[in-house]
A = this chain, B = another copy of it.
Amino acid sequence: MAVITRRGFLEMVGALAVAAVGLGCSGRNQTAMVTPTPKGEMFSSLPWPYKKLDPDKVADLAYESYMKHHCMYGVFNAVVKSLAEKVGYPYTVFPTELAIYGKGGVVGWATLCGALNGAAMATYLVLPEKEADKVINELYAWYEYSELPNYIPKKPVKADLNPFPKSVANSPLCHVSVSNWCKASGYKAFSAERAERCGRLTADVAKKLTELINSVYDGSFVPKYSLDKRTMTCRGCHCKESALQNTRGKMVCWECHTKEGAKHIEDLEGHPKV
């Protein structure tokens, strides 16, 4: 198969569209395909054009999408399909099934929460790197420190509990997030209730992400979540521009470095013991 460059692709699309006008092709499709982004670029160049979305509608679609292909796809598909409806091409042709891989913290490894993985990927589709990083930092910190899930589906798919058990994840990691919810709720990690919890959490992440991207889009973004005081204390000695500089990261330290880590911080700065 011949290789086509991005410039060649764009030129051809333009040429074909012009040809199509003369042959009476549908103006609707033609418009969707050839309208350039605000920056005059198309598919191969990020970020793609954005229009403000309704966070509650994106949440509903994320919940539905979770039930189809799990957590990462849940958030990513909801954002992309919502933009396909509101913006059109190129969102209309993106293969969102690419994001299925994040399920269960990447095919069950329970590393990064799939909802957060899909959220970060979606953010890079619509925002420049600097703005995207601010949104991701805010979203991840909100996820770590908030009692979730809050989303209530119109028709619960896996389990209908009222009130629905909540927990604070204390981590962006699937393993920790799920374990803490199991501990708080008493339900098992492979139960229908846990699947329902992750579906609702996926909706919460999609809603929060949409609110954050909307706020960057209209210039009202103000970060509200900083890292917690104890984690900042740890980072002061162990992270970037510190004395020891023997690690990296923004995750809550004392969730994994429990007894010894907590005692160490308490000794150093008088913070309350975990």
Write the chain B residue with the least CB distance to A69: B129
Of A1, A22, A23, A251, chain B has the most CB atoms within 10 Å of the CB of: A1
Q: Is the CB of B175 within 8 A of A248?
A: yes
A152 within 8 A of B: no
Q: Is the CB of B124 within 8 A of A116?
A: no
Instruction: Mark interface residues in A85-128 (1 if CB within 8 Å of B CB, else 0).
Output: 11111001111011111101111111110001100110111000
Question: Residue A100 contacts which of B129, B178, B241 (CB distance < 8 angstroms)?
Answer: B129
A268 within 8 A of B: no
Query: Which of A5-13, A155-163, A218-226 binds B?
Result: A5-13
A147 within 8 A of B: no
Q: Is the CB of B110 within 8 A of A106?
A: no
Of A5, A105, A106, A110, chain B has the most CB atoms within 10 Å of the CB of: A106
List A204-250 residues whose CB lies under 8 Å from chain B: 239-241, 245-250
Tell me how far the C-beta of A129 lies from the nearest C-beta in chain B, rounded to whole angstroms. Answer: 6
Q: How far does the alpha carbon of A41 sit from the alpha carbon of B117 in the complex, in Å? A: 27
Q: Is the CB of A98 within 8 A of B124?
A: yes
Tell me how far the C-beta of A240 lies from the nearest C-beta in chain B, rounded to whole angstroms. Answer: 5
Write the chain B residue with the least CB distance to A132: B101
A44 within 8 A of B: yes
List A1-48 residues whose CB lies under 8 Å from chain B: 1-6, 8-9, 11-12, 15-17, 19-20, 22-23, 25-26, 28-33, 35, 43-46
A273 within 8 A of B: no
Write the chain B residue with the least CB distance to A37: B1
Write the chain B residue with the least CB distance to A191: B245
Nearest 3 pairs of A and B residues by beta carbon? A110-B249, A4-B32, A16-B16
- Which A residues contact B (CB, under 8 angstroms)? 1-6, 8-9, 11-12, 15-17, 19-20, 22-23, 25-26, 28-33, 35, 43-46, 84-89, 92-95, 97-102, 104-112, 116-117, 120-121, 123-125, 129, 132-133, 136-137, 140, 172-175, 178-179, 182-183, 188-191, 239-241, 245-251, 256
